[in-house]
Amino acid sequence: MSANKAPKNHVFYRNQNWHYPKIQKGEGVYLYGEDGKRYLDACSGSAVANIGHGNKEIAEFAKQQIERVAFTHLSRWTVDVIEECAAKVCEWAPGDLNHVYFVSGGSEATETAMKMARQYFIERDGKKSSKWKVISKWDSYHGNTLGALSMTGHPGRRKYYDPMLANFPKIPQFYHYRNPWGCETAEETSIKAAEALETEILRQGADNIAAFITEPVVGSAIPGVHPEKIYFEMVREICNKYDVLLIVDEVMAGFGRTGEKFAVDHFTTVPDIIACAKGMSAGYTPMGATICNDEIFDTIMVKGSGNFVHGHTYASNPLSCGISLKVLEIIERENYLENAKIQGGYFIEKLRELYKYPIIGDVRGKGLMTGLEFVKDQSTKEPFEVSENVKGKFTVNCLAEGIVPYPGGGSADGVRGDDTLLAPPINITREEVDELLAGLERAIAKTCEDVLGANVEA
């Protein structure tokens, strides 16, 4: 029986056990409740509101675009803003990722990537091609639609739907803090995690594998976890060796969140396909995209059938493309990538000071995509039991301090393991970072008291 705390109205809220404060407006890094309470959005919703809330320039642009043309169907028309947005996205994308297939969100983007990989091999090798499986990882999240969920390695999100999912192989994540190989350095963990890909390709037979998908910096599954550079070097080489496409899921990490245009740029690797969304439109409109390289585009669209058998009503929506183009122009003009790098570096350095609280097990991240993992015992890394509801208590304590986190669970064994993503807007100022840190620290001290009975000075 649920706690029935959600407002009683006609909305099918996601979680009936949550009481849902009503937000009146957003401005910069802040959200304002109808009771006047101010919240610092420390997670940008879910790494979405990258340029902050209430941007007047976007509002003005959106009005003009709606008046000019808000919707056309991709099957018939093209519009200047669709073409300009695609050109801008390709200017940002690495290597020869020169072709953008617009969708409306992250799950559609990863699902499109998976289908694009499958059609590529059919167009290249004929209908009998057996290359269809996508290797992915445990401790990953690639979306909630059935294809995307088939690639997702998060038991809690899969459990009810398991019988409906495609049987895609899963390998371990580059999760150094809880690595299964007993590695002592992050570099060793990265090497082992990359070797696991080769082992799995050989086990499945390369003829059956179309693609490998990975997040460059992990989002909600184990927030802030990232590999060393060697991981992507090895993975790129393995994919080339076995004729497997490399898909990088930048849905959370892309468009400046980590201080680079795409997070994979930290590792100087060029994937074959990038799936992206969220920060691309910074939440001002639903948006996503699948960006592919020349080889894939030419094989399907130039030398092949010329018809990608896939599509959605809102693909290449002119309003969404126009707004996304504006968002990217603002990020460039205001130098927010550099800000994410600078504030992110400072933020993570300060977050490391939180190890003084006994429930902080791991602090990690790149740029302004960071994560904290909570433990019962720092030396053994023992997680809390789910029944102790640490992430729930932490969230309530953060909200009381006017800080909005993005909590998660399951990082230790798929079920236990409380954590939180911290990913404020990338235009956050130093003063706002300090305000975030102060509220966060008080919330952590209070959570320590709640769960350990330990009175730790904040």
Quick check: 389 binds ligand PLP (CB under 6 A)? no
Among 94, 172, 216, 219, which residue interacts with ligand PLP (rule: CB under 6 A)?
Answer: 219
As measured in angstroms, the least distance from the Cβ of 251 to ligand PLP is: 3
Q: Which is nearer to ligand PLP, 220 or 290 (CB)?
A: 220
Q: Which long-range contacts (CB under 8 A, 24 or more apart) does 330-338 make?
A: 330/51, 330/55, 330/57, 330/58, 331/50, 331/51, 331/255, 331/256, 331/426, 334/51, 334/427, 336/50, 336/51, 336/256, 336/426, 336/427, 337/256, 337/259, 337/260, 337/261, 337/426, 338/259
Task: Give residues 59-98 in contact with ligand PLP (rule: CB under 6 A).
Answer: none
Q: Smallest Cα–Cα separation from 224: which of 355, 337, 372? A: 372
- Using the rule CB under 6 A, give the single segment among 102-110, 114-122, 406-414, 420-428 that binds ligand PLP: 102-110
Backbone angles phi, psi at 427, to 5 degrees: -100, 15
The one among 26, 28, 45, 143 contacting ligand PLP by CB under 6 A? 143
Choose the stretch contacting ligand PLP; rule: CB under 6 A; options: 122-130, 140-148, 156-164, 376-384.
140-148
| 75, burial (CB in 10 Å: exposed 0-12, middle 13-18, buried 19+) | exposed
Q: How far apart are CA 319 and CA 64, in angstroms?
A: 10
Within 309-348, the residues that bind ligand PLP by CB under 6 A are none
Q: SS3 for 53?
A: strand
| Residue of the chain from 139, 215, 228, 362 that contacts ligand PLP (CB under 6 A) | 215
Q: Which stretch binds ligand PLP (CB under 6 A): 213-221, 298-306, 384-392, 449-457?
A: 213-221
User: What gap in Å lies between CA 402 and CA 39, rounded to an integer?
Assistant: 4
CB 380 within 8 A of CB 346: no
Among 44, 50, 110, 136, interactor with ligand PLP by CB under 6 A: 110
| Residue 374 in contact with ligand PLP, rule: CB under 6 A | no
From the list 159, 158, 152, the residue with the least C-alpha distance to 215 is 152
Per rule CB under 6 A, is residue 198 in the interface with ligand PLP? no
Which residues contact residue 290 at a Cβ distance below 8 angstroms, ignoring those fewer than 6 apart?
100, 101, 103, 109, 112, 113, 116, 273, 274, 275, 276
Residue 284: C-alpha distances to residues 59, 62, 146, 325 (Å): 8, 9, 26, 11
Closer residue to ligand PLP in complex, CB, 49/251? 251
Distance of closest approach, residue 188 Cβ to ligand PLP, in angstroms: 25
CB of 128 to ligand PLP, least distance (A): 31
Nearer to ligand PLP, 222 or 252 (CB): 252
CB of 247 closer than 8 Å to CB of 291: no
Residues 248-307 contacting ligand PLP, CB under 6 A: 249, 251-252, 277
Residue 106 binds to ligand PLP (criterion: CB under 6 A):
yes
Residue of this chain nearest to ligand PLP (CB atom): 106
* Among 88, 118, 131, 142, interactor with ligand PLP by CB under 6 A: 142
Q: Of 11-19, 77-85, 247-255, 319-327, which segment contacts ligand PLP by CB under 6 A?
A: 247-255
Residue 145 beta carbon to ligand PLP: minimum distance, rounded to whole angstroms: 7
Among the listed residues 28, 45, 52, 105, the single contact to ligand PLP using CB under 6 A: 105
Query: Can you say whether the dihedral through the CA atoms of 447, 453, 456, 458 is positive or negative?
Result: positive
CB closer to ligand PLP, 215 vs 419: 215
Positions in the binding site for ligand PLP (CB under 6 A): 46, 105-107, 110, 141-143, 215, 219-220, 249, 251-252, 277
